[in-house]
Structure 1
Amino acid sequence: MEEFYRSQRQGHQAVIHIPREFKDEFFSLVDQVNLSLLEDKDNFYSYFLMQMSREIRFDITSPTGVNFQGAHYVIHFNPMLFLNLNLQQMASTIKHEILHILSGHLWRAKALQGRYSTLAINMAMNIVVNTYLDYLPPYSVTLEWVNVHYALKLLPFKPFEYYVEEIQAALDLLAADEAAEDQRDGDEANESDKSKDAEKPKEPDQNNDESQIKTAYDPERTHDLWQESSAADEQTLQEFTEKFIAHAQKGSLPGYLENMLSSLRNSQGELPWNLYLKRLMGTVPSDIKKTVTRRNRRQPERLDLRGQLRSHQAKILVALDISGSISDQEFNQAIKEVLAIVKNYNHEITIVECDSEIRRIYKVKTVRDVRERLKIRGGTRFTPVFEYANEHKINLLIYFTDGQGEEKLQTIPRGYKTLWVLSGRGKELSLAKPYGAVKKLKQMEVNDDTLKMSDVKTEGFSMQDQERFYM
Structure 2
Amino acid sequence: MSTYHSQRATAALQKLIEFDPTFGSLSLWCLHRDATAEETLIVMRDAQGEASIASVRYEIAPAYTDGRVIYYGSQFERWNLEEQMAVCAHEILHIAFQHIPRARKLLSRFGTQYSRQIFNIAADALINESLTQAGYRLPQPHVSLNAILKDVLHSNQRADAALATLDVESLYVQLFDISEKGGKQALALNVLSSRLAPDVSADGKLSAEDELSSAEWQQRLDRALRSGASAGRGLGSISTRLGDIPKSFTPWEVILRRMVTKMVTYMPQYRFEAPTRRWLALDAEAQKTGHWSPAFEPGRRKALAKRGKVTVCVDVSGSISQSILARFASEIEGISRRTGAEIILIIFDHGIQLIHELTKHNLLEELNGLDFHSGGGTSFKEPIEEALKHDPSIIVVLTDLVGQFGPKPGRTPVVWACCHGNTETVPFGRVIYLSR
TM-score (norm 1): 0.45
Structure number with the bigger relative contact order (C-alpha 8 A, sep ≥ 6) is 2
More helix by share: 2
